[in-house]
């Protein structure tokens, strides 16, 4: 009888250990998934904020227009000063 009780206790201990391992695995998996998704969101945000070749070309042409306007205004001011 004592041997049977000992086997039952050992079986229960093994079951509890397995359940704990399963729980730990589930928590670890959940944490991994959350951090993975957070990382993906961060990557998408960085990609959205990163300049592309096209956006740089557009900015460059806008700077050219602004520089031309500034140059023309400086010329007008200099002609008024003379």
* Per-residue pLDDT tens over the stretch 20-70: 999 999 999 999 999 999 999 999 888 888 888 888 889 899 999 999 999
- Check whether residue 63 and residue 82 sit in a common domain: yes
- Check whether residue 41 and residue 75 sit in a common domain: no
- Check whether residue 46 and residue 59 sit in a common domain: no
- Check whether residue 1 and residue 34 sit in a common domain: yes
Which stretch of DSSP H or E encloses residue 54? Answer: helix 53-81
- Check whether residue 77 and residue 65 sit in a common domain: yes
How would residue 15 be classed by pLDDT, with cut points 50, 70 and 90?
very high
Number of domains observed in the structure of the chain: 2
Neighbours of 50 (CB within 10 A): 8
pTM strictly above 0.75: no
Q: CA 51, CA 62: separation in Å to the nearest integer?
A: 15
- Check whether residue 41 and residue 61 sit in a common domain: no
């Amino acid at each position: 009888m004592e041997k049977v009780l000992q086997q039952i206790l050992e079986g229960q201990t093994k079951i509890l250990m397995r359940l704990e391992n399963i729980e730990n695995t589930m928590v670890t998996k959940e944490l991994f998934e959350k951090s993975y998704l957070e990382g993906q969101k961060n990557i998408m945000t960085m990609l959205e904020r990163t300049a592309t070749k096209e956006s740089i070309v557009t900015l460059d042409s806008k700077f050219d227009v602004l520089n031309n306007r500034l140059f023309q205004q400086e010329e007008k001011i200099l002609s008024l000063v003379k």
